[in-house]
C-alpha cells in the first residue's frame, strides 16, 4: 500500500491556457497562484511550456498545455474533479452557470443515505470533467489529516 496522505494537486491539460484561466477564474472562482515558464530563468532551467498554478478553495490546480506527443485534453485520462459547495450556494451556482451559458448536466439527486446531496456535471475548456455538489454531511466536522511522523 502506498499509504498516501492527501491529494496534493491536480495537473489539468488546457488546450489554451488563457481560455482555461478565464473559465476557472470567471466561472468557478479560482485564484491565480503563479505562472511558470514566462520568465527567462524558468526557460533556462528547462521548465518547458508555460503553465500556471491556481487555487480553488484549498485545492491546487496546474494548467498545462499538452505537449506535442499528448495533444488530447485530459478527458482521456479519466479523472473527474468534484468540488463541494453549500446546499444554499448550490442553487446560486446553477443560476450562475445558466446565466453564463455554461453547459452542464443535472442536477442529479443522490441517495438519501449517502453523503452527497445533488451534483451537476460540466467540462472546462479542455474537456476535463468537473462535478459540483452539495453534501448532506456538510455540517459534520472532518477529522484533520494526520501527517506521517518522522
Partner 1 sequence: MAAVAGDPTASKAPGRPTKIDPALACQEISGATLEVADFAVTRAFYAPIFATSGGSWDAKSKSTRFQAGTQTIEFVRRARPRSYPNAADHWSYRVRATALPPLVDQLAEQGFAPEWWHEDYPAERGLSAYLHDPTGHRVQLLPSTDGGPFLDHAALEQHDLEAAEFFYTRALGGTVTFSHGWDARDQLGLDDWMAGDDPSAPFTRRVNISYRTKRPAPMPLAHVFVTFGSTRLGLFLAPTHRQEPAPGVVRGTPRLTLRARCSASDLEAHLRIVNVSPVDLKYDGGYVQFERAGNDLFLRDPGGHFVQVTCRA
For partner 1, the binding residues (CB under 8 A) are 15-18, 34-35, 37-41, 43-50, 65-68, 71
User: Please, is 128 exposed, middle or buried when counting C-beta atoms within 10 Å of its C-beta (0-12, 13-18, 19+)?
Assistant: buried
- Nearest-angstrom CA–CA distance, 11 and 81: 11
Nearest-approach distance from CB 87 to partner 1, in angstroms = 31
Q: How far is the CB of 71 from partner 1 (least distance, A)?
A: 5
Which CB sits closer to partner 1, 17 or 30? Answer: 17
> Please, which residue, 68 or 88, has the CB nearer to partner 1?
68
Q: What are the angstrom distances between the C-alpha of 38 and each of 18, 23, 34, 76, 116?
A: 13, 21, 10, 28, 40
User: Whose Cβ is closer to partner 1: residue 43's or residue 85's?
Assistant: 43
Closest CA to 125 of 22, 1, 7: 22
CB 55 within 8 A of CB 33: yes
CB of 20 to partner 1, least distance (A): 9
- In the complex with partner 1, the residue whose CB is nearer, 117 or 126, is 126
Nearer to partner 1, 34 or 98 (CB): 34
Residue 134 C-beta: closest distance to partner 1, Å: 29
User: Can you say whether residue 93 is alpha, beta or left, with left for phi > 0 and alpha for psi between -120 and 50 degrees?
Assistant: alpha
The minimum distance between CB 15 and partner 1, in angstroms, equals 5
DSSP symbol at 149 = P
Amino acid at each position: 500500500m502506498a499509504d498516501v496522505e492527501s491529494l496534493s494537486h491536480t495537473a489539468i491539460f488546457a488546450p489554451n491556457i488563457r481560455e482555461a484561466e478565464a473559465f476557472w477564474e470567471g466561472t468557478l472562482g479560482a485564484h491565480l497562484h503563479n505562472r511558470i515558464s514566462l520568465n527567462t530563468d524558468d526557460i533556462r532551467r528547462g521548465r518547458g511550456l508555460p503553465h500556471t498554478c491556481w487555487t480553488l478553495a484549498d485545492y491546487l490546480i496546474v494548467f498545462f498545455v499538452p505537449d506535442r506527443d499528448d495533444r488530447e485534453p485530459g478527458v482521456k485520462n479519466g479523472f473527474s474533479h468534484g468540488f463541494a459547495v453549500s446546499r444554499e450556494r448550490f442553487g446560486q451556482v446553477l443560476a450562475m452557470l445558466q446565466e453564463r451559458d455554461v453547459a452542464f448536466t443535472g442536477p442529479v439527486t443522490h441517495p438519501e443515505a449517502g453523503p452527497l446531496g445533488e451534483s451537476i456535471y460540466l467540462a472546462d475548456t479542455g474537456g476535463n470533467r468537473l462535478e459540483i455538489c452539495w453534501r448532506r454531511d456538510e455540517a459534520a466536522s472532518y477529522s484533520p489529516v494526520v501527517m506521517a511522523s518522522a
